[in-house]
Chain A
Amino acid sequence: MQLQLMMSSGFNVFRVGISFVIMCSFYMPTVDSLLELSPQKYFSTLQPGKASLAYFCQADSPRTSVFLEELNEAVRPLQDYGISVAKVNCVKEEISRYCGKEKDLMKAYLFKGNVLLREFPTDTLFDVNAIVAHVLFALLFNEVKYITNLEDLQNIENALKGKANIIFSYVRAIGIPEHRAVMEAAFVYGTAYQFVLTTEIALLESIGSEDVEYAHLYFFHCKLVLDLTQQCRRTLMEQPLTTLNIHLFIKTMKAPLLTEVAEDPQQVSTVHLQLGLPLVFIVSQQATYEADRRTAEWVAWRLLGKAGVLLLLRDSLEVNIPQHANVVFKRAEKGVPLEFLVLHDVDLIISHVEHNMHIEEIQKDEDDDMEGPDIDVQDDEVAETVFRDRKRKLPLELTVELTEETFNATVMASDSIVLFYAGWQAVSMAFLQSYIDVAVKLKGTSTMLLTRINCADWSDICTKQNVTEFPIVKMYKKGENPVSYAGMLGTKDLLKFIQLNRISYPVNITSIQAAEEYLSGELYKDLISYSSVSVLGLFSPTMTTAKEDFSEAGNYLKGYVITGIYSEEDVLLLSNKYAASLPALLLARHTEGKIESIPLANTHAEDIVQIVTDALLEMFPEITVENLPSYFRLQKPLLILFSDGSINPQYKKAILTLVKQKYLDSLTPCWLNLKNTPVGKGILQAYFDPLPPLPLLVLVNLHSGGQVFAFPSDQAIIEENLVLWLKKLEAGLENHITILPAQEWKPPLPAYDFLSMMDAATSQHSTRKIPQCMKETDVQENDKEQHEDKSAVRKEPIETLRIKHWNRSNWFKEAEKSFRHDKEL
């Protein structure tokens, strides 16, 4: 197997590709998961020169364990280094010496070809970092020298003077993320530099390091040293030890220390700029060239790894630079003008560079804040409005506040409405306002006592009343079970509920005259504004079951529609008059002054409820916020006429004619008055661009497909045109003007990803993995992600949570992605 190192000079990519792996990933998409083999099978797969890590375990051992999980995660990174990973199941028939006797003696083995390189007890491979670090450490035995004392270091240093440079690193322990980062760097640079590694803190101290609790990486410039008594210069890497940072650091070390240029600084570009580091030009003249060069070299050493230093020869320069300027500062960001500086002290040059690095970071942070919505800003309209309204004083005294002590006594003593709410819950508090409005409207007129109880204080009472969510309204009437209000949480509907509950359900009507008054609306004159329909059940006195069913239905409908029952001996007078055969329902529509009858034969209570509910629906209603759900339930496309104010009677007539002619049976025709329902404007804007003049007739296929069709606005809304249009629609000859978006309601914004923050804190310098050999699947994934990124208006901050993408191994990927993202922006 050939190992290929491909290194692009591009900024953030160094690709470690192994041709075999690439092929595998094209043809064996499952290669990402851990292979499970028998010992025999495993040894037959070993290829000369190829490294392989195998975990031998008893066939009957648990299928999952922490170790196996980590091993599984290491499959992909190791594969990128050409190392295969397998789980070998020891079965009785095949005895292998690698199979331990007992479960806890199981180990992982590293082979190169079929030669055993090392064995690892599983506890040394405690996580994916440790696995990668240990395996690379074993394979790169020659490339990475492990030392424990200063003498060893000095010996290596002496041996390499004039020959090669050294990358010396200290990590707190073997197997931690920093160690892995060093090993990953050594995998790439191991032939170019001598890597030296230690875990001895004393050694680090003896070479004069500070902050010895952290990992350190030094570049020893030994190649330049010709005099063996001279020490190698050292450059400390100041960034945290991650693979990416090490890579960047080595790149800057590789770049020439000092470059002489004689061209426009604006045009000059070096590897530093590509790496995001600034350039410092020391302006020189023929006369002072030698001294300037010495100064520049000195500055260059000081700024090694922080900025590129160039000597700019003013004399041979074609462009003008200000007379007194002796330093030119060029930032890495494109489009930032050059800075011409007059600095008479080299320390000033250095502090200028360091200071500007700092500024840059701060600015970046500020940019982050400005971009996109802040996840700490309220985007729940109910919570936000309640919060904004918190200082307004409500006339709470109009309702009785109940406590544990007063609750039972109060609801026993008088007919009461109780609002169960929680003081901290926004929806509760929003509804409390409507509730108070009801109290204002009913002030002094109602026999019903309006009360409320804060479940945040009186949690026991609420639990005892079976209230587990908020807000809940219940009605307590003497001798009856409490009834939960199930209508809209608004003033109008609750008021209706309370008013309609002044009578009993169903009302027992005992004379023909009373029945007629009931049907005409005379009997409950003050209530028919709340219930446009009165229902009267007609039964002969012997129809007990039917009566019971009706009573049950009436009880169910109480507070929503007036129901009455007539079952006197002379019931036939009524049934004959309204051409109904007993048992029957009479529906009196007060607004239209019509009475219709519906036969009831063996109709159960829920069916009666259904009949009545359906009867409440109008043929061509004005659609409002309150009544849409009733029509929405029918699951038919809506035919909506948007009208600015009351509907033109001609249009109404045209549509009602179509209804009668059964043209509209498959639709729900309705109209919307923009004066009553201003939110309709938003709907129109969603349908039309630009907005044609009103009225507009629209067919919205809400439940299947979401297409919106518009009746041509240049045509008159008359029967013929409508029929024609509907026929064309049916034949599929009309084009929709828009399709309603079908997207799911996703989290509006990400959340804080505390888990990642906690992870980052535990491994202070976390490894940010560098992009690796692009595989086919990755390319697709990236395409998709980029597409998503583009459509997103905002940029996702790194430590926020999108579970969708989340899993343990993805953490690095996410970090990497956001890194790429940063640079793109």
Chain B
Amino acid sequence: MGLSAVAPLWGPPGLLLAIALHPALSVPPRRDYCVLGAGPAGLQMAYFLQRAGRDYEVFERSRQPGSFFTRYPRHRKLISINKRYTGKANAEFNLRHDWNSLLSHDPRLLFRHYSRAYFPDARDMVRYLGDFADTLGLRIQYNTTIAHVTLDKDRRAWNGHYFILTDQKGQVHQCSVLLVATGLSVPNQVDFPGSENVEGYESVSIDPEDFIGQNVLILGRGNSAFETAENILGVTNFIHMLSRSRVRLSWATHYVGDLRAINNGLLDTYQLKSLDGLLESDLRDLAILKDSKGKFHVTLKFFLEEASTNQSADAITLPQDDNDNFAMRVPYDRVIRCLGWNFDFSIFNKSLRLNSGNAFGKKYPLIRASYESKGSRGLFILGTASHSVDYRKSAGGFIHGFRYTVRAVHRLLEHRHHSIAWPATELPITQLTSSIVRRVNEASGLYQMFGVLADVILLKENAMAFEYLEEFPIQMLAQLETLTGRKARHGLFVINMEYGRNFSGPDKDVFFDDRSVGHTEDAWQSNFLHPVIYYYRYLPTEQEVRFRPAHWPLPRPTAIHHIVEDFLTDWTAPIGHILPLRRFLENCLDTDLRSFYAESCFLFALTRQKLPPFCQQGYLRMQGLMSTESLWQHRVESRLLRDDAPAGRDLADSSQQPGDQELLGAPLAPGPLAQSLDSNKEEL
């Protein structure tokens, strides 16, 4: 957690006074967009603003971008994977397996050019971020610590107020939109008696020599705790780890913020009886006592409260006095706290109403699914600090996730303030299946931000064409029209990626037999990440989104389609993936989306009053698909359409009217489809 955060340490509060005394003699410089923090999220936003030609400025406390990474992680190894080879050329696809790069048009600015290591060194990240800012010429004010942010009501402002930023020199900046990308910068501390004896992850020695022959207690259960343990595992007598709840392994939960296998060496030695151990208890019930020899004892807060205040440490009751097999009865030489990080709320004036989230999201500011603060319009939280939207669900707290959510925020802003509608491609309906197949096979935003960002297809009247919108925050689906400037009057599809409902969890066996589904009819039971397509006749309302069924990312649709999970995440199999998808789309739209050769369209044109969309949009516009000789041969063999018999006979479906019988004359004969079924079976 928190590895991809920016951690500016803000200036002393004394500066606030200076500002108050400083009269606003000159009009402060005004920017349309101010970005706080030049970490990955800040740089990513700066990139989009720069490309759009917007008036913006980034404020960075340090003298270079990504200052968090100059110190963290302490042991310098990033756990975000740098997969340089995928066997594929598709750059968009490759971003699915690149967890460190920011989005840009410049292929040189891909992280794989900066490190060969699968788990890269943090110094490479610092170098990368520096290059990103320099190469793209992003406007960043370094060495500028924003010490205070407040609101100035002004009716002319975009959002009815300006954000007033004051830096450490008392310089004031006025901003129409404030984009906060400061990460989580305040180490999380739990208050309990003796907590002053605890060393913090941020400052503890990282030299294993300092731990030789020691008994070490680590508080915390996350990656920083295990990373710390890993470093000293070989030299300590033993390491005990203490945390409130059981350890969650990211390969079981599919959540990258949980304990990664690269850090879990201690689990191995614990389970292999090598003196190291894991314990669960609420830290707030504990107390740590320092005895006369400078060793630390774990006891209960309760005992401490019982004892009179001036009792010496050695006299206080320890659990083992009553319970002589108490697990933590040995004295420790060191206690290290690795409890994660919190958002720095201190610089924001109350008037911004930037509050912390609910119980599990206390460390994050409260925001909407559009990343805008619930308290003040025009204030957006980006990057790691925006993780409350998908905490423990998706990747929004990490570079490989928030690079996409930042882009989504930028698109929302482009529409809100510059009347540029959310980018969309308009295509004829015959391209519907292909456009979905293309995206589910290459889109990295859908893949990384599964369940949070989803593609939306807005149907045009009569469903003859559609608009394709990429990576829209789906929790805002009800507000899609106002947020994007696009119209959803004629129904819509939402393309989301999902894991199976009951697949992942901290105590689930993710390697159970039959965990994968192979048959298309069982696709809805797919467990691994797979595309799910929702069809709505009408845009869902806010109520419907809010009161959606439990564990559903979206309200109940009119119809739903799962593309069966694929071991290679390659959803291009003609029968296994594309055919069921087409059938689903056809049945939603009540039309026929098959493709036809020009010869078939010719036949339909002269024997029917209506043509299927493929013939209407292709053949009749003189862009029909001619078959070649060998394809023609297969076509005859497949008997899908026999050229010696009236075509469309296989199409005689339930909607056929009595009059048709007369026309087609001959009996509806052994369906050509049934025959092709046989021949197909032989071939397969």
Query: A interface vs B, CB < 8 Å?
Result: 62, 64-66, 373-389, 392, 403-404, 422-427, 430-431, 433-434, 437, 455-460, 468-470, 486-493, 625-626, 628-630, 632-633, 638, 640, 677-679, 681-683, 685-687, 689, 700, 702, 706, 738-755, 757-758, 788-789, 791-793, 801-804, 806-807
Determine if B309 is an interface residue (Cβ-Cβ < 8 Å): no
Are A743 and B657 touching (Cβ within 8 A)? yes
B92, B547, B609: most-surrounded residue (chain A CB, <10 A): B609
How far is B642's CA from A626's CA once the two chains are assembled, in angstroms?
Answer: 20
Residues from chain A with Cβ under 8 Å of B578 in the complex: 383, 424
Query: B interface vs A, CB < 8 Å?
Result: 88-93, 107, 425, 427-428, 431, 434-435, 437-438, 441-442, 520-521, 523-524, 535, 541, 543, 547, 556-562, 572, 574-575, 578-580, 582-584, 586-588, 590-592, 594-600, 602-603, 605-613, 618-628, 630-632, 634-635, 637-638, 640-647, 650-660, 662-666, 668, 671, 673-674, 676-677, 680, 683
How far is B628's CA from A389's CA once the two chains are assembled, in angstroms?
Answer: 11
Residues from chain B with Cβ under 8 Å of A750 in the complex: 583, 587
Are A424 and B572 touching (Cβ within 8 A)? yes
Residues from chain B with Cβ under 8 Å of A700 in the complex: 606
**Cross-chain contact of A489 among B93, B441, B623, B666 (Cβ < 8 A):** B623
Residues from chain B with Cβ under 8 Å of A801 in the complex: 559, 583-584, 587
* CB of A472 to closest CB in B, whole Å: 10
B607, B618, B642: most-surrounded residue (chain A CB, <10 A): B607
Are B594 and A381 touching (Cβ within 8 A)? yes
How far is B659's CA from A573's CA once the two chains are assembled, in angstroms?
Answer: 63
* CB of A152 to closest CB in B, whole Å: 34
Q: 29 A-B pairs, CB-CB below 8 angstroms? A: A66-B547, A373-B650, A375-B580, A380-B582, A381-B600, A384-B634, A384-B638, A388-B638, A424-B441, A427-B625, A431-B625, A433-B630, A456-B438, A457-B90, A468-B431, A491-B628, A630-B622, A640-B606, A679-B602, A682-B607, A700-B606, A740-B609, A745-B610, A748-B594, A754-B524, A754-B562, A757-B524, A806-B558, A806-B559
Q: Given that A679-B603, A683-B603, A751-B580 are known contacts, is A459 also in contact with B92, CB under 8 Å in the complex?
A: yes
Q: A686-B607, A801-B587 are in contact. List 7 more A-B contacts (CB 8 A).
A: A373-B673, A384-B635, A469-B431, A683-B606, A685-B665, A740-B609, A747-B592
A686, A755, A789: most-surrounded residue (chain B CB, <10 A): A686
Closest A residue to B93 by CB, please name it.
A459
Residues from chain A with Cβ under 8 Å of B674 in the complex: 373
Q: Given that A702-B605, A754-B560 are known contacts, is A682 also in contact with B647, CB under 8 Å in the complex?
A: yes
* CB of B660 to closest CB in A, whole Å: 5
Residues from chain A with Cβ under 8 Å of B651 in the complex: 745, 748
How far is B611's CA from A743's CA once the two chains are assembled, in angstroms?
Answer: 9
Are B574 and A747 touching (Cβ within 8 A)? no
Q: Given that A381-B641, A385-B631, A629-B622 are known contacts, is A424 also in contact with B437, CB under 8 Å in the complex?
A: yes
Closest B residue to A371 by CB, please name it.
B674
Are B587 and A803 touching (Cβ within 8 A)? yes
* CB of B25 to closest CB in A, whole Å: 50
Residues from chain B with Cβ under 8 Å of A702 in the complex: 605-606, 609
* CB of A303 to closest CB in B, whole Å: 35
* CB of B610 to closest CB in A, whole Å: 6
Are A378 and B579 touching (Cβ within 8 A)? yes
Residues from chain A with Cβ under 8 Å of B572 in the complex: 423-424, 456
* CB of B472 to closest CB in A, whole Å: 18
Residues from chain A with Cβ under 8 Å of B642 in the complex: 682
Residues from chain A with Cβ under 8 Å of B602 in the complex: 625, 628, 677, 679
Closest A residue to B88 by CB, please name it.
A457
* CB of A477 to closest CB in B, whole Å: 21
Closest B residue to A757 by CB, please name it.
B524
Are A426 and B561 touching (Cβ within 8 A)? no
* CB of A759 to closest CB in B, whole Å: 10
How far is B591's CA from A791's CA once the two chains are assembled, in angstroms?
Answer: 19
Are B620 and A754 touching (Cβ within 8 A)? no
How far is B537's CA from A807's CA once the two chains are assembled, in angstroms?
Answer: 11
Are B627 and A385 touching (Cβ within 8 A)? yes
How far is B622's CA from A22's CA once the two chains are assembled, in angstroms?
Answer: 58
**Cross-chain contact of B655 among A62, A632, A746 (Cβ < 8 A):** A746
How far is B610's CA from A389's CA once the two chains are assembled, in angstroms?
Answer: 30
How far is B574's CA from A423's CA once the two chains are assembled, in angstroms?
Answer: 11
**Cross-chain contact of B622 among A387, A426, A488 (Cβ < 8 A):** A488
Are A381 and B626 touching (Cβ within 8 A)? no
Are A749 and B583 touching (Cβ within 8 A)? yes
* CB of A177 to closest CB in B, whole Å: 16
How far is B630's CA from A437's CA once the two chains are assembled, in angstroms?
Answer: 11
Are A490 and B598 touching (Cβ within 8 A)? yes
Residues from chain B with Cβ under 8 Å of A373 in the complex: 650, 671, 673-674, 677
Are B668 and A793 touching (Cβ within 8 A)? yes
Are A738 and B662 touching (Cβ within 8 A)? yes
How far is B606's CA from A640's CA once the two chains are assembled, in angstroms?
Answer: 10
How far is B318's CA from A481's CA once the two chains are assembled, in angstroms?
Answer: 84
Closest A residue to B443 by CB, please name it.
A459
Q: Given that A748-B651, A755-B559 are known contacts, is A458 also in contact with B605, CB under 8 Å in the complex?
A: no
How far is B543's CA from A385's CA once the two chains are assembled, in angstroms?
Answer: 47
Residues from chain B with Cβ under 8 Å of A629 in the complex: 619-622, 624
Are B626 and A625 touching (Cβ within 8 A)? yes
Closest B residue to A492 by CB, please name it.
B626
How far is B434's CA from A740's CA once the two chains are assembled, in angstroms?
Answer: 31
* CB of B177 to closest CB in A, whole Å: 28
Residues from chain B with Cβ under 8 Å of A383 in the complex: 574, 578-579, 595
Are B594 and A802 touching (Cβ within 8 A)? no
**Cross-chain contact of A486 among B556, B603, B622, B662 (Cβ < 8 A):** B622
Are B611 and A382 touching (Cβ within 8 A)? no
Are A626 and B91 touching (Cβ within 8 A)? no
**Cross-chain contact of B659 among A741, A753, A755, A788 (Cβ < 8 A):** A741
Are B595 and A376 touching (Cβ within 8 A)? no
A385, A757, A807: most-surrounded residue (chain B CB, <10 A): A385
Residues from chain B with Cβ under 8 Å of A638 in the complex: 606
Q: Given that A383-B578, A681-B643, A746-B590 are known contacts, is A388 also in contact with B583, CB under 8 Å in the complex?
A: no
**Cross-chain contact of A388 among B596, B608, B624, B683 (Cβ < 8 A):** B683
Residues from chain B with Cβ under 8 Å of A375 in the complex: 580, 583
Residues from chain B with Cβ under 8 Å of A488 in the complex: 598, 622-626
* CB of B544 to closest CB in A, whole Å: 8
Are B673 and A743 touching (Cβ within 8 A)? no
A373, A632, A749, A801: most-surrounded residue (chain B CB, <10 A): A801
Q: Given that A468-B427, A806-B559 are known contacts, is A791 also in contact with B434, CB under 8 Å in the complex?
A: no
Are B625 and A751 touching (Cβ within 8 A)? no
Are A740 and B607 touching (Cβ within 8 A)? yes
* CB of B104 to closest CB in A, whole Å: 12
Closest A residue to B624 by CB, please name it.
A488
Q: Given that A377-B677, A382-B596, A685-B665 are known contacts, is A389 also in contact with B631, CB under 8 Å in the complex?
A: yes
* CB of A762 to closest CB in B, whole Å: 9
* CB of A621 to closest CB in B, whole Å: 14
Residues from chain A with Cβ under 8 Å of B574 in the complex: 378, 383, 386-387, 426
Closest A residue to B664 by CB, please name it.
A686
Closest A residue to B582 by CB, please name it.
A380
How far is B520's CA from A478's CA once the two chains are assembled, in angstroms?
Answer: 49
Listed from nearest, the 4 A-B pairs whose CB atoms lie closest are A490-B626, A424-B572, A689-B665, A747-B586
Are B654 and A792 touching (Cβ within 8 A)? yes
How far is B665's CA from A188's CA once the two chains are assembled, in angstroms?
Answer: 51
Q: Given that A383-B578, A385-B634, A388-B637 are known contacts, is A758 also in contact with B676, CB under 8 Å in the complex?
A: no
Residues from chain B with Cβ under 8 Å of A384 in the complex: 634-635, 638, 640, 676
Are B660 and A682 touching (Cβ within 8 A)? no
How far is B622's CA from A455's CA once the two chains are assembled, in angstroms?
Answer: 24
How far is B541's CA from A493's CA once the two chains are assembled, in angstroms?
Answer: 50
Residues from chain A with Cβ under 8 Å of B612 in the complex: 745
Q: Given that A746-B592, A803-B587 are known contacts, is A376 also in contact with B643, CB under 8 Å in the complex?
A: no
* CB of A218 to closest CB in B, whole Å: 32
Q: Given that A381-B638, A430-B627, A744-B655 are known contacts, is A376 also in contact with B587, CB under 8 Å in the complex?
A: no
